[in-house]
Amino acid sequence: MPALPSPAQMPEVARRSLLRGAFAGAVLLGAPALVGCRSDAPAGAGSLSPRRGGNLRVVVSGASTTDDVLDPHLAGSWGGGAVAKNIFDKLVAHDNDLVPRPRLAEKLEPNADGTVWTVRLRRGVTWHDGKPLTAADVLWSVRRILDPANKLPAAADLAMVDAAASRVVDDHTVELRTTQPMADLGGLLAGWYVYVVQDGTNRFDREHPPVGTGPFRFDGWAPGERTKLVRNDRYWEAGKPYVDSVEIILAAEADARLNVLLSGQADIVHEMSYVQAKAEQGNRSLTIHASAVGTFHSFNMFVDREPFTDPRVREALKLAVDREAIVESVFFGYGEVGNDLYGKGAPNYADAIPQRVYDPDRARALLREAGKENLRLTLHTADVTPGYVQAALLFAEHAKRAGITIEVSKSAADSYWTDVYLKRPFTQTSWGSYALEWFYGQALVSGAASNETGWRRPAWDQRFALAMRVLPGDAADVILAKGAGAGTATPAQKAALRAELGLDRPAVEQYLDWMAGVLRGDLGRSSFSGRPVTEIVAARLPNTLVLAAVATAVLVPVAVGFGAWAGARAGRTRDRVVTTVAVTVGSLPEFVTATLLIAAFAFAVPVLPAVSMVAPGAHPLSTPEILVLPVVTLVAVMAPQSIRMVRAQMSEVMATEYVRMARLHGIPERRIVTRHALRNALAPAMPLLAGSVTWLVGGIVVVETVFNYPGISQDLVRAIGQRDLPYVQSVTLLFAAVTVAGYLLADLAVVALVPKLRTAGGRRS
């Protein structure tokens, strides 16, 4: 199978005991990452012997439209990583057996003190456009990553490389200099973002499709939805890749991802939740792979912030959590308890420290000693990784027995890494399996990018720096993995962006600026991602409009038909049946109707998909079955009101003199209804029908959310939680425009229906 991001890889590196040590601020748990494969997937995704050919579709946990980028030096999400890994190559990278191997580099040779590294490139590697790979490409990539003006998160990976002093030796040799002695440059070069891009390239988007040296060429991209890749026939690694093409499909939520797989729209699903793994255990069409090494989940306390400055308080909290219970209920047993230090299973991990167990009484005693009885805390969490919220809620439950009140504050998933993590004193994170020193450098030195426990001890920093310098010299093939995304550098990058966007200015000023922009046809930039709102909206709006149009096209005949049918016989049985059913169905909130429909038609009698995915570049109408449940929900919510309006007008018209007159003339009842009454009943009902468009707006947001339909709602709900005002304002403006257009259409329809309004000056006075 092609190189997928291996979750949480385990380094095979022996390290020295100097780095052994516990750290103070976290409670840890370990759990594996889960991947599911359909048994009929190509290239042996479900079996052991690889087959050639075919199209492999992988659904990966991905971010929203705003975060999906093609720039390999910027793509921090799992989805972005999967794309980058298949289009580009690194100089050094991990193989599927978790052992680091040279890739574009053939050899890394350090000088005596590890400050000058000679990188010898593999020969015969060509770019997708046919140009040969040269040393200039490598130097350009390193400089691009490190250029402060680019503000790339990858810069953190290569921080120790001195870009200015590095140079090209010949076409296939680069000399990289480091700012301080480095024992393992290879570890840095295998970093998450450290891909080699072509000399001179700075833009990666639809107008500038990415050109790499990787096993697959770029073929198509629907931002936030999927990326299509095709086989690179000139790939340097003999016999690879196995499959002809790869589709990387993004879905942010675990159940959406699994549904994509189960509905046959993908062959591999990445990051299953533990609940899903349990539920699908007996499913023969699916094989679940748990990675050999896992992810560490931790609750972090800022040791430099009250009340965590007191070690007794920290210890009390470590004793107040029942880890066994969390492993059992959150990870469904797919995991094991961790002790209060990072790196269980890693070389040089301090196994000798006894495992801390749940002891609420001891915790209570410690708090009493510290004078902190009845401690109240806020634990910040978000639904960013399966199990976070559940684990937090369980911690709060367990802590109650120690007299600790933990209030669990759930923030928006999209802003957790930027606004909450590293900003609040009590949070959650996960780390893949890294070598201890890599983790320490990322999280446990004073200036670390992810110093999530506020651990700032100059003496410790010195010891750490010393340790890094005296590491063994034979490090060329010694690689430290950067595994699962704890979103390390992204927060800092985003914080800078926020400042750049001027979010500190008064709200009124921002609003006026935005309005001025709107008048010029510019909807502004999302205050979250910084991308133009027009661009974000344009990617998804057509799908929303299609859904709205289909719903309206079904709604109008249903409303007019049933309304007229019932109104023509007001008071009779059929009128009462229609009215009662309308009231009953119309009372339900959209999400209840949708949930009941999904339970009935996607699970009880599985005839329709529970999730509405749309292929990239494809029209939602090309797979009409995905529209059925969303449209039925929308019509069920809106039709009752419209039916009642039409019915009321119809029954009024049927009681008029001219209808009675027509009956006396012997005109058949059917003709009276269709030829005479209906037109006159519809004219006053039209504006009311248009009024129900106002309800369509709310309904469509809920329906798109429930069905994971790729309209603008996912972004909108995110933006509301994010308080991304430019985005919310713009979409509001759009919706308002649609509403006005609805009223206008209704007015035109009235004119068409009532001939006397058509003559000049014929408006009713």
Partner 1 sequence: MTRGRRRWAGRAAGAVAALLVVVAVAGPWLAPHDPTDVVGLPFAPPGAGQPLGTDYLGADVASRLLHGGRTVVVLALAAGALAYLVGGGLGLAAGLFGRADTVLMRPVDVLIAVPPFLVLAVLAAGTGRGAAVVVLAAALANVPGIARVVRAATLEVGVRGYVEVALARGETWIRVAGRDVLPNIAALVLTDVGSRISAMVAMVAGANFLGLGLQPPTADWALMVAENRAGLALQPWAVLAPALAIAVLTITVNLGGDELAARLRRATTTVAA
Residues that bind partner 1 (CB under 8 A): 254-255, 273, 275-276, 278-279, 325, 328-330, 332, 389-390, 393-394, 396-397, 408-410, 412, 576, 583-584, 586-592, 595-596, 598-599, 603, 610, 691, 693-698, 701-702, 705, 716-717, 719-721, 723-725, 728-729, 731-732, 735-736, 739-740, 743
Cβ 658 vs Cβ 676: under 8 Å: yes
Nearer to partner 1, 185 or 696 (CB): 696
CB of 122 to partner 1, least distance (A): 45
**CA distances to 641, 644, 649 from 563, in Å:** 10, 6, 9
Alpha helices in 239-273, H assignment, sequence order: 254-262
Nearest residue (CB) to partner 1, 678 versus 719: 719
Q: Classify each residue of 55-85 as buried b or exposed e, where b means 16 or more C-beta atoms within 10 Å of its C-beta.
A: ebbbbbbbbbbbbbbbbbbbbbbbbbbbbbb
d(CA 89, CA 103): 7
What amino acid is encoded at 244 in this protein?
D
Which is nearer to partner 1, 444 or 731 (by Cβ)? 731
The distance of closest approach from Cβ of residue 708 to partner 1 in the complex, given in angstroms and rounded to an integer, is 11
Q: What angle do CA 654, 695, 740 make, to 5 degrees?
A: 90
What is the smallest separation between the CB atom of 650 and partner 1, expressed in angstroms?
A: 20
Handedness of CA 366, 372, 376, 378 (dihedral sign): negative
Name the residue nearer to partner 1 (CB basis): 627 or 725. 725
Distance of closest approach, residue 328 Cβ to partner 1, in angstroms: 7
Beta-carbon contacts of 241 under 8 Å, excluding residues fewer than 6 positions away, are: 2, 215, 216, 231, 232, 235
**Would you list the DSSP string of 480-513?**
----S----SHHHHHHHHHHHTTTTS-HHHHHHH
Smallest gap from Cβ 502 to partner 1, in A, equals 18
Report helix, strand or coil for 704. helix
Nearer to partner 1, 327 or 366 (CB): 327
- If the CB atoms of residues 33 and 673 are measured against partner 1, the closer one turns out to be 33
Q: Which residue number, 138 or 700, has a Cβ lying nearer to partner 1? A: 700
Tokens representing residue 662 in the block: 């027509």
* H helix or E strand, kind and range, residue 216: strand 216-222
Pick from 643, 638, 634: nearest CA to 570: 643
Which stretches within 655-677 are classed as H helix? 657-664, 669-671
From 166, 169, 174, 171, select the one nearest 147 (Cα to Cα).
166
The DSSP H or E segment spanning 58 is: strand 55-61
> Residue 75 CB, nearest distance to partner 1 (Å)?
27
Q: For residue 230, which of 130, 128, 133, 137 has the smallest C-alpha distance?
A: 128
Give the residue with the Cβ less far from partner 1, 194 or 702: 702
Taking the complex as a whole, how short is the minimal distance between the CB of residue 293 and partner 1, in angstroms?
A: 25
Name the residue nearer to partner 1 (CB basis): 178 or 273.
Answer: 273
**Residue 465 one-letter amino acid:** A
Beta carbon of residue 82, minimum distance to partner 1 (angstroms, whole number): 23
Q: Which is nearer to partner 1, 279 or 618 (CB)?
A: 279
Please, which residue, 231 or 540, has the CB nearer to partner 1?
A: 540
CB closer to partner 1, 143 vs 410: 410
As measured in angstroms, the least distance from the Cβ of 396 to partner 1 is 7
Torsion sign over Cα 525, 537, 520, 737: negative
- Rounded distance between C-alpha atoms, residue 79 and residue 61, angstroms: 6
Whole-angstrom distance, CA of residue 367 vs CA of residue 361: 10
Nearest distance from C-beta of residue 678 to partner 1, angstroms: 26
Q: Which one, 114 or 711, has the nearer CB to partner 1?
A: 711
Which residues does residue 246 pair with via DSSP β-bridges, in sequence order?
A: 56, 229
- Closest approach, Cβ 636 to partner 1, in A, equals 12
Q: Work out the end-to-end distance of the chain between its first and last CA atoms, rounded to an integer number of angstroms.
A: 75
Sequence length of the chain is 765
**Shortest gap between Cβ of 329 and partner 1 (angstroms)?**
5
CB of 314 to partner 1, least distance (A): 24
Bridge-based pairing state of the strands 268-270 and 55-61 = parallel
